[in-house]
Amino acid sequence: MSQGRKLLAASDELIDLVQRRATGREGLVKVGVSAGVSTRLLPLMLEALTQRSPGVEVKLEAVGSAEAMLRLKAATLDIAIVASPQPAVATLRLIPWRNDPMVVLLPSSWDAPERVTPEWLAGRRWASFAPATQMHGLIAAWFGQAGFNPRPFLTLSYPGALKSLAAASQSAAILPLEEVKDQRNAPDVQIRHLSPPLMRPMAIAHRCLQPPNLAVDNVLSVLADFAS
């Protein structure tokens, strides 16, 4: 290929790149994800984004909700999936996203009631999320409203590790229902709803950009499809 043709080809590629970015079909979007977000949902959301906008790359970062809000303000994140509610910030927008029921995952060998109460669970080994998380606070309040203040057998930051404890008959694990749907037919565990019910609300937070970033908008659109 002659030098002139190479320059023309390079110019065409540059124009195509600019057009893809201008229409939101290409770009890097940094998304903060808190520990409570279902590890089942994340691959589904990424797959949906790949189908819709294959040129948009998402960089996921595990980050707590409070830190995520600070990083959005500092522009080191574009979007964050956070616990709800969060304090209002003038430069950020919060959109209610999901309100999932919490359940308890139990070893199959345990003789458990149809619905698990704070009183029943307080006398047994149970595991939960780390103290700095929204999930830990929600569970502590669920026990507290019934007059109990039990200490968890173990606190961990990752849902998968909590599920493995129940599967190994080490303890119960309190998790969002969305996280344990794949365990419904597993022979080594059983799922029980909580009584009284416990919900886990989450929101999507993002910066108010002018002009809009179309790659960010494409990611927000995919996240909206998984709202409940």
Is the domain of 92 the same as that of 124? no
Is the domain of 79 the same as that of 117? no
pLDDT tier, 157 (very low <50, low <70, confident <90, very high otherwise): confident
Is the domain of 166 the same as that of 206? no
In tens, the pLDDT along 18-71 reads 444 444 457 999 999 987 788 888 999 999 999 999 999 999 998 989 999 999
Is the domain of 48 the same as that of 128? no
- Averaged pLDDT, 115-136: 93
Beta-bridge partner residues of 93:
206
Is the domain of 119 the same as that of 176? yes
In tens, the pLDDT along 68-102 reads 999 999 999 999 999 999 999 999 999 999 999 99
Going by their DSSP bridges, the two strands 199-207 and 79-83 should be labelled as antiparallel
pLDDT tier, 17 (very low <50, low <70, confident <90, very high otherwise): very low
- The pLDDT value recorded for residue 147 is 98
Q: How many CB atoms sit inside 10 A of residue 151's CB?
A: 10
Q: Which domain holds residue 79?
A: 3-98+201-225
- The pLDDT value recorded for residue 36 is 72
Q: What is the CATH number of the domain that holds 138?
A: 3.40.190.10
Going by their DSSP bridges, the two strands 79-83 and 55-62 should be labelled as unpaired
- The pLDDT value recorded for residue 6 is 47
Is the domain of 159 the same as that of 129? yes
Is the domain of 105 the same as that of 161? yes
Q: If phi over 0 gives left and psi between -120 and 50 gives alpha, with beta otherwise, what is residue 169?
A: left
In tens, the pLDDT along 170-221 reads 999 999 999 999 899 999 999 999 999 999 999 999 999 888 899 999 999 9
Nearest-CA neighbor of 133 among 193, 183, 174?
174
Beta-bridge partner residues of 60:
31
Dihedral angle, C-alpha 210, 212, 216, 217, nearest 10 °: 130
Average pLDDT of every residue of the chain: 88
Nearest-CA neighbor of 58 among 40, 78, 74, 75?
78
Q: pTM of the prediction?
A: 0.82
pLDDT tier, 1 (very low <50, low <70, confident <90, very high otherwise): low
Is the domain of 52 the same as that of 107? no
Domain count along the chain: 2
Is the domain of 40 the same as that of 84? yes
Selected residue with higher pLDDT from 118 and 34: 118
Taking 50 as the threshold, does the pLDDT of residue 16 lie above it?
no
pLDDT tier, 167 (very low <50, low <70, confident <90, very high otherwise): very high
Is the domain of 75 the same as that of 136? no
- The pLDDT value recorded for residue 83 is 92
**Are the C-beta atoms of residues 47 and 63 closer than 8 Å to each other?**
no
Is the domain of 72 the same as that of 137? no
Is the domain of 158 the same as that of 206? no
CA distance 53 to 50: 5
